[in-house]
Structure 1
Amino acid sequence: MVRRLRSLTVALALLLATVVQAQVTTSSMSGRVTDAEGAVIGSTVIATHEPSGTTYGTVTNMEGRFNLNGMRVGGPYTVEVSYIGYGTSTTTNITLSLGENYALNVLLSEEATSLDEIVVTALRTKFTTERTGAVTNITNDQIVNLPTVNRSIMDVTRLSPYGGNGMSFGGTDGRTANFTVDGANFNNNFGLSDALPGGGNPISIEAIEELQVVIAPYDVRQTNFIGGGVNAITKSGTNTFRASAYTYHRNENMRGDVVKEQLIEGARERDRNTTYGFTVGGPIIKNKLFFFVNAEMAKTPTVVNRWRPSTNGVAVPESYISRTTEGDLKRVSDFVRNEYGYETGSYTDFPADESNRKILARLDWNITNQHRLALRYNYTKNLAWRSPNASSMDGGTRMSEARMSQASMSFANSMYSQDNLVHSFSFDLNSRLSDNLSNQFLAT
């Protein structure tokens, strides 16, 4: 018996630890229903997410208060409050923000005769007593309308007044931040590259519904960071089929190279990116089961090495010509091929293209009015070429391309491919166990 109790205690502790470290993926609503004399006990509150038909219901307690947790982010919502002998109060145009509670107080009027329902249009306030610290919520409308060159999450998070370069918040190193998507960790825990995996762009912004940047929350679920935490949720399907296809392109000709009639050298060095993608979402079973899919591919021809060998052994640094000659490189290449069967690769043409591929698929299932499940899978593969490390070279003769300089050259096979492969899965079950008790089971 003692052993069973110990095992149960350990299991409970692990469960609580998991809950404490979980990230926010939903929203909530609470408020109070009153009449001219005070609280209305037992009134029915029904909130309906109009795009999907998802409903959330409860009744008010002895103080006329109600709580709805685990709600889908966004909207618009319509909330109906009714009680026998009172006119129905309807509040429309409610939008819920990620990780925040929406406060809704309703005043019911007694109906002595048959009355039309009362319709209230909600106007969201920027101030709330439910905030849990310094928070910036970035809606889908803001994401769509924000100019972004790199189409990266890090461009969007700069809307936070605490945001800096990359994933830096409050002046801290970006690697101390925490980034989650649908509660799943998307940090670059291993290091060696950007603060985020997948070449710094692990998920398409076309798939993001809303972002939340938290700096100093006292919500125990918001953990595992020093500078700031970024919570993102992905889009869901609705009762309406929607599809889109898009492409974006940029190149060096879109940049200016003249300031006050002065030509800026190198301002238009080769810099190109082309992105293709599509989204599609809708109902599988209306009001019950929904899907959303996003796929995106980006190609970026880059310049990893600008240095080229000379023909006469004379270095011209301003033109990136090395004193190492083509003849010397050819003799070395021929020697190792003939003696050891090793191919050095080119010494005039170096691989540099970077590619990024992303796929996201999500299912939302309204199992019952008390249980709702969201499944999401994300795949990202980023391939980029890197020059060899330059720590063994003389910094005085090296400009930027590692072992390529005015004093030396290396072969294409000395470069390496840096591949980032991300498979991410989240299982998010939100259950309403009673009017005062709800639960979230999140596995990633």
Structure 2
Amino acid sequence: MQRQIIWLISLTIITFFQIPTNSWAQGTEATITGRIMDNNGPVKGTSVSVKNESTGFKQTTLTNQNGIYTFPQLPLGSPYSISVNHVGYAEQKKTDYKLSYGDELNVDFTLSSAENKLDKVIVQGTAADLKNKIKTLGASTAITANDLKKMPVNGRNFSSLIDLSPVSSGTNLAGQRASSTNFTVDGMNSRSTVAGGNSGGAYSISMEAIREFKVVTNDYDVTFGRSGGGSITTVTKSGTNTLTGSAFTFARAGWLSSKYNLNGTARKQKFSTYQYGFSLGGPIIKDKAHFFVTWDRQMDTRPLQIADIQTNEDIARYKVTQATLDEFTRIAVGKYGASADRLFGSFDKKKKTDAAFARIDWQLNDKNLLTIRNNFVYDMDNQQEGDNTGINAFESYTNRRYINNSLMASLRTSINSKLTNDLKVQHFYERSEAQHNVAGFDQSHSIPRAIVESVQSVDGTNKYTNSIQLGGQRYAPEWFNGNMLQLVNNLYYNTDKIKYTFGADVMYTNMDFRYGSEMNGRFYFTGLQNFDNLTPYRYARDVYMTDKENTLVNNLAVGLYGQMEAKIARGLDVVGGYV
């Protein structure tokens, strides 16, 4: 192990000869650091305080023997002020700084003797000061709060902005699969527990709840983890001392779409998307406790055409005539109990998504900041998936329902001027189920499907052959329940020369699911005559090899890691870590 650490440190030293900057363990917050000097050099033991003027959050530390102070893992926001006090020197204060995700803000002070009769020096943050923000190492694309406000976003889904990263294609990063991309919200896992990637639904969190996010590909430190192709890290909004709110709406109205279907006939179904919601944030106790809540709803309606024969071109495309469909419908309704209005034609395909978010930040005392937040998403996608036959009746489509809820609590503790601890605990629940679209059937029961092959149609001199299906869908009913408990603790320890990060990430996952294919059984018919005579030529069904149809999986993943950072010389830093 010692050889591995020595080799890693040597490699990073070589790398950092080409990078004149320093770094800091990422988390989801930011860092303020700097040096306090006077005419004789560094000033040890100076009291330095930072304060977020909009929330009242305040922290105090002391400079080390080199006159350096550091505030790791500060909450994001603005405006921040930095005050310096030392016996025998005039108090100084610099104001109007903004902290964004991953920033390291370097603010230096030069103290003047109190004999100069300067009671207090206040300097507002300037453009020159703001240039001292140190960008994180490696390849990453930051989408700031201003970007989210100014950029048009199709469907108000923040994941659309992932494409601003030059190495992304949707959620595929750096040529890797989407399932290899890590998703985090406020530093905690937000990946789908069943297949990785982003959690389901129209969106995993309301855009109104997002402060900013970052697309990271090789900008790793030990606190990231669980990333193959990259990481998409999101930070949520919090309340301030000012009561603020917003109401919004997004509309893709039906009159903005063509009045005609693809076959040129008049469109009777709706084709629209409406999204609306609100946000509200403010103080519970001024300078101590704050809240922020959002609610977001999206309603999407669009046409679903299933063998909707209106023109000769439709006959050629679907390879079936209306007369054949009428005969199929007569048999299906009269002998198999199907509903005539749930087979073929044009239908309204509806989808509804609700997202609710709530967050409370409470500064318990001058050393502890408690944050509790909850994110809930409900998505109902009707007729989400058809089947694998040439023509699938409307009742053979599945309705997909998706629910997830993330409850997180974090406690940031400033133990002393050298030690800061960040503890986070999360429970993530995920429920996904594919439901039958057959009217009047219990969702817990399996429904077989009937597949009529070699259905022949004649249109003038043209002859067509296709297959038609009614009944259930080969996957439904299926469901997945996932419960994930995660605990992450990071300890930041600053010595006079080296900054250390030590951490643990413990994740327990419980999964209970029913997945399968062709478990419902299927009847095969050759032609409409055999379908009418109730004479299938084949019946097939896959079966489970155990008494229970569901599967239980429990998994415990434990990660321990450490990292050190030291400044070797001006413009030369070394970072080494072990996981």
* TM-score class normalised by the smaller sequence: 0.7 to 0.9
**Quick check: 1:354 aligned with 2:351?**
yes
- The equivalent residue for 2:180 is 176
- Specify which of 231, 237, 240 is matched with residue 238 of structure 1: 240
- The equivalent residue for 2:447 is none
Percent identical among aligned pairs is: 27
Cα deviations by residue, 1:170-193 (Å, 9 ceiling, x for unpaired): 2322221111111232223324xx
Which amino acid is 1:145 matched to? K
Cα deviations by residue, 1:73-126 (Å, 9 ceiling, x for unpaired): 121101111212222221112111213322222111223232153233333556
**Quick check: 1:428 aligned with 2:410?**
yes
Which structure's CA Rg is the greater one?
2
SS of 2:172's equivalent? coil
Taking the aligned partners of 1:255 and 1:171, their CA distance within structure 2 comes to 35
Which amino acid is 1:157 matched to? I
**Quick check: 1:89 aligned with 2:85?**
no
- The equivalent residue for 1:115 is 118
What is the CA-CA distance between 1:148 and the residue it aligns to?
0.7
Distance 1:197 1:328, change over 3 A: same
- Specify which of 416, 421, 425 is matched with residue 398 of structure 2: 416
Once the two structures are overlaid, the 10-residue window that deviates more, 299-308 or 428-437, is 299-308
- Specify which of 130, 138, 144 is matched with residue 143 of structure 2: 138
Taking the aligned partners of 2:246 and 2:319, their CA distance within structure 1 comes to 45
SS of 2:239's equivalent? coil
Taking the aligned partners of 2:303 and 2:194, their CA distance within structure 1 comes to 26
Distance 1:127 1:156, change over 3 A: farther
Root-mean-square deviation (Å): 3.1
Taking the aligned partners of 2:186 and 2:30, their CA distance within structure 1 comes to 13
- The equivalent residue for 1:291 is 291
Which amino acid is 1:205 matched to? M
SS of 2:118's equivalent? coil
- Specify which of 56, 60, 64 is matched with residue 57 of structure 1: 60
Taking the aligned partners of 2:405 and 2:413, their CA distance within structure 1 comes to 27
- Contact 1:308–1:320 (8 Å) recurs in 2: no
- The equivalent residue for 1:365 is 362
Distance 1:324 1:358, change over 3 A: farther
Cα deviations by residue, 1:371-403 (Å, 9 ceiling, x for unpaired): 001101111011113465544x4xxxxxxxxx4
Cα deviations by residue, 1:159-217 (Å, 9 ceiling, x for unpaired): 333332x21222322221111111232223324xx942232411111110111221112
Distance 1:288 1:324, change over 3 A: farther
Give unpaired runs (5+ residues) of structure 2.
Answer: 1-24, 427-579
Which amino acid is 2:148 matched to? I
Which amino acid is 1:68 matched to? F
SS of 1:353's equivalent? strand
Once the two structures are overlaid, the 10-residue window that deviates more, 199-208 or 277-286, is 199-208
- Contact 2:276–2:298 (8 Å) recurs in 1: yes
- Contact 1:344–1:411 (8 Å) recurs in 2: no
Matches within 5 A, 1:308-387: 308=308, 315-317=315-317, 324-337=324-337, 346-347=342-343, 348=345, 350-386=347-383
- The equivalent residue for 1:305 is 305
- Contact 1:44–1:81 (8 Å) recurs in 2: yes
What is the CA-CA distance between 1:319 and the residue it aligns to?
11
Taking the aligned partners of 1:110 and 1:69, their CA distance within structure 2 comes to 29
- The equivalent residue for 1:14 is none
- Contact 2:239–2:283 (8 Å) recurs in 1: yes
- The equivalent residue for 2:32 is 29
Once the two structures are overlaid, the 10-residue window that deviates more, 65-74 or 268-277, is 268-277
Distance 1:37 1:441, change over 3 A: same
- The equivalent residue for 1:196 is 198
Taking the aligned partners of 2:216 and 2:311, their CA distance within structure 1 comes to 58
- Contact 2:103–2:136 (8 Å) recurs in 1: yes
Give unpaired runs (5+ residues) of structure 1.
Answer: 1-21, 258-263, 394-402, 405-409
Distance 1:321 1:186, change over 3 A: farther
SS of 2:224's equivalent? coil
Taking the aligned partners of 2:276 and 2:61, their CA distance within structure 1 comes to 45
Cα deviations by residue, 1:245-282 (Å, 9 ceiling, x for unpaired): 1111014655799xxxxxx999x997421001010111
Q: Structure 1 or 2: larger strand share? A: 2
- Specify which of 190, 213, 216 is matched with residue 186 of structure 1: 190
- Contact 1:351–1:412 (8 Å) recurs in 2: no
SS of 1:144's equivalent? helix
**Quick check: 1:150 aligned with 2:150?**
no
SS of 2:115's equivalent? coil
SS of 1:157's equivalent? helix
SS of 1:85's equivalent? coil
Distance 1:142 1:251, change over 3 A: same
Matches within 5 A, 1:193-272: 195-251=197-253, 254=256, 271-272=271-272
Q: Which runs of 4+ in 1 moved over 4 A?
A: 124-130, 252-257, 268-271, 309-312, 318-323, 342-345, 387-390
What is the CA-CA distance between 1:63 and the residue it aligns to?
1.1
- Contact 2:26–2:102 (8 Å) recurs in 1: no
